Structure 1
């Protein structure tokens, strides 16, 4: 299992050659990415992490999560239990309003969920996968 320590647009691939050797590659997605370096400047790419286990997927998953917990998570949450959250996306996709979100929040509260993530669609006329991402403007009211 491998991933970038990066939340941006990345590309990962694995290929098997004619000798059954596997080659894995991960990094910033080259599509739409450019970076101009002036003389003397440097660029540091995001780190990648890889874990392996010959004891199955469960052991690999535990190793991966231990790596993050012990070496990559910093700040106040490193050694604390993190809040349980619910994300509205799978429940509502593009079809939600205040009433639906409040119903989700009320049900979440009743189940002991501590945080609600209002995902995708809150920022404008997002009603399909190829519109409204990044074209919103924040407004402050009241």
Structure 2
């Protein structure tokens, strides 16, 4: 392994199988690669530049992002509209610009055993 370069990318042909019917198509995932002659730091900087210049679509691409608060550690699954509002109200005077409502707002998502990804608002909470 010393002095060698090994690249692995794309679909693993060993254990990947995708059947296509006549006329169907399949698009492989993109591969993002960078090269650096200056080690891991150079590679990290090259990836940051790549992501900012080619992937990021946000208006915050070259600007500082809003300061945000996320309710997860404060509430986990146990919240309602009043609790969320009180967190938001307390955050605003501190300069918090954005609120992220995390897990637990959908389905019957009151613990890790139910409703992950059903994306229907839990009207009992909100």
Q: Deviations over 1:75-102 (max 9, x none)?
A: 6444444323222223322222333322
Name which of 76, 83, 97 aligns with 2:66.
83
Is residue 2:24 matched to residue 1:41?
yes
Distance 1:104 1:70, change over 3 A: same
Instruction: After TM superposition, give the deviation of residue 131 of structure 1 in Å.
Output: 1.0
Output the CA distance in 2 between the equivalents of 1:134 and 1:67. Answer: 30
Runs of at least 5 residues in structure 2 that lack an aligned partner in the other structure? 12-16
Compute the TM-score of the two structures, normalised by the length of structure 1. 0.58
- Call closer, same or farther: CA 1:40–1:133 in 2, change over 3 Å: same
What is the aligned length? 116
Question: In the alignment, what sits opposite 1:124?
Answer: 107
Number of the residue aligned with 1:72: 55
More strand per residue: 1
State the TM-score, normalized to the length of structure 2: 0.63
Q: Which runs of 5+ in 1 are unaligned?
A: 1-18, 28-33
CA distance in 2, matches of 1:136, 1:35: 28
1:112 aligns with 2:67: no
Moved more, 113-122 or 101-110: 101-110
Decide which structure has the larger Cα Rg and report it: 2
CA contact (8 A) 2:77 2:111 kept: yes
